[in-house]
Structure 1
Amino acid sequence: MNQCCDIVYQNCNKLDVIQGSYEGGQTLWECTFDLLQYPKQLAGLDVIDMGCGLGLLGIQALKQGAKSVCFQDYNEDTFEQAILPQLKLNNLEENKNYSFVNGDWETLKLQKVDIILASEIIYREEYYPKVEDFIANHLRPDGKCIMINKSYYFGVGGSVAGFKNHLTKLQVVEEETINTKKGVKKSIMKLQLK
């Protein structure tokens, strides 16, 4: 068991990608820690934890008093195997303000929300259209998406610069670069509808 930002968690799997399962979904990717520590007010807001994995961003939203949290991941088994154990560790399993939705970003139709939280979802260039459309389709007119990504994903081609150049429906309204001791730059971006 580990702890970060008043959230207790347990990593369910040491692999980022599970063979035969779209990107795994049960690993805590490192940028999530940075986004957990990034100041954000979530009380009273409707939130989507996009590509949630272990769901720690959504759990943080629940702990801050979010009105509702939708945990979204591609894999159906992520809820039982990854998120539910985290909710139990944080004494939130009885909280009725959350839901879980699985499926591909381009096929989901969810309620519009105030804020979308996402960590490391632009690691492949071919995902850019799906990511942008999902965010644009699920933000309220005054809503924001706060996402964090590594500046570049070696071996798979995604990058912050490439994603920003792709944007047609969203605009970056704020960006902060985080430099790590390992030399990997990360970018926290706030996006909103154009």
Structure 2
Amino acid sequence: MAFQFNFTIDSHLENELSALGDEALDLESSGKTSFLENQKEKLKEKWSSKDCDLSKEPLWGCKSSPEVQASQVCDNSLIKSDEITRDLEPEEKQPCLKVAKEHDIPKDLKKVIENKVTEVIPDLQHGNLSVVKMTLLKDNSCGEDIISKSLSSHSDLITGIYEGGMKIWECTFDLLAYLTDEEVQFAGKRVLDLGCGAGLLGIIALKGKAKEIHFQDYNSTVIDEITIPNVIVNSNFECEDDEISEPDLKRRRNANPAQQLLSKCRFFSGEWYEFSKLVLSSKKDFAKYDIILTSETIYNPSYYSPFHQTLSNLLDENGQVFLASKAHYFGVGGGVHLFQKFIEERNVFETRTLKIIDEGLKRILIKMTFKHTH
């Protein structure tokens, strides 16, 4: 089932998108579409509606196209407080870092998602990514211009410019299935969806009554045009704890939905090191994350230091990282085994393999926790 709107697509834009060919790995343009459809069917058998389920009926309003400025900054400063950092790596390895920023949640939530074409997977909805791309190609107000750059370079990964956030990668479905099968508990937890893209992992945490969910992606366009709309489409603002009193429930139902969303979700863009600095130095109250969810983020070995540093700085002492990745990324060089070797050398985390999936390209789910010295 999919919600559809009348949406005219110029033929030349459609042709431009098809030029991505086999390199596009999202649901709409992947050469592995049939495989992902099988994954969807498997999830459909596993997932069932629970208490505090998310709304199955989306809100509809009009899509906003705020101008987003992509900026690069050179910053050699380090976070100085020992209380909020762990295992800082030399920042010289990342001389130019994309500035991080927090994204405001629009007051008119319905306006954000009008003209969005929505696809449905079990208990979740997400915007059709091909339509989003075509819309952005026709709209010149997006400062990052990542779609045309991706098309012209015939690549989903452009270092320092675009890091693949406009695609739903295979491992996301692997991790979604695992979290559901194992009934990982999110209730009352502080959760980060790191490298969130469409935000499906964070939305599952929202469904599971997480106390707070933060979404982070490298590109601001991804956050504004994909992540925030997806969270809104999946949000049911009347979903509250069973113990809430009737007067409080009535007040919350009458409250501004944007404020209710704001109370649980925050959205960030920018490079990982800059993101960690931003949240740790924020004037808003910040507590480290109990759970960090991340999928297909270890494809490039040159990113391992800032990634490791971000996990070290932001994960609670007793927290867990659930990571999904291909065993090896051909053409880029990263993968689970190389990353685990990197982790062992740093001696900060211990890793445990949760699941190995051999269908198609080999994929692996791992869990990371801090090593505790006794």
Distance in 1 (CA, whole Å) between partners of 2:320 and 2:330 is 28
Distance in 1 (CA, whole Å) between partners of 2:363 and 2:120 is 22
In structure 2, the residue matched to 1:60 is 204
1:158 to 306, 320, 334: 334
Q: Check whether the contact 1:53–1:82 (CA below 8 A) recurs between aligned residues.
A: yes
Show CA shifts across 1:72-102 (max 9, x none): 1111122220012212321358323000111
2:272 to 70, 94, 105: 105
In structure 1, the residue matched to 2:156 is 17
Secondary structure (helix, strand or coil) at the match of 1:148 reads strand
Q: Check whether the contact 1:4–1:33 (CA below 8 A) recurs between aligned residues.
A: no
Q: How many angstroms does 1:189 deviate by?
A: 0.5
2:233 aligned with 1:89:
yes
* Aligned amino acid, residue 295 of structure 2: S
Show CA shifts across 1:16-56 (max 9, x none): 72768321422111110111111321111000000000111
Structure 2 spans left out of the alignment, 5+ residues: 1-117, 134-149, 238-256, 280-285
Q: Check whether the contact 1:132–1:170 (CA below 8 A) recurs between aligned residues.
A: no
Q: How many angstroms does 1:148 deviate by?
A: 0.2
Q: How many angstroms does 1:177 deviate by?
A: 0.8
Distance in 1 (CA, whole Å) between partners of 2:306 and 2:129 is 27
1:43 to 165, 187, 207: 187
**Bigger Rg, which one:** 2
Distance in 1 (CA, whole Å) between partners of 2:349 and 2:121 is 31
2:355 to 160, 169, 176: 176
Secondary structure (helix, strand or coil) at the match of 2:273 reads coil
**Structure holding more helix per residue:** 2
Structure 1 spans left out of the alignment, 5+ residues: none
Q: How many angstroms does 1:124 deviate by?
A: 0.8
* TM-score, structure 2 as length reference: 0.48
Secondary structure (helix, strand or coil) at the match of 2:306 reads helix
* Aligned amino acid, residue 105 of structure 1: W
Distance in 2 (CA, whole Å) between partners of 1:147 and 1:165 is 15
Q: Closer, same or farther in 2 for the Cα pair 1:153/1:126, shift >3 Å?
A: same
Coordinate RMSD, CA, aligned: 2.0
Q: How many angstroms does 1:128 deviate by?
A: 1.3
In structure 2, the residue matched to 1:190 is 367
* TM-score, structure 1 as length reference: 0.90
Show CA shifts across 1:121-166 (max 9, x none): 0001111112111111111100000010000001110011100000
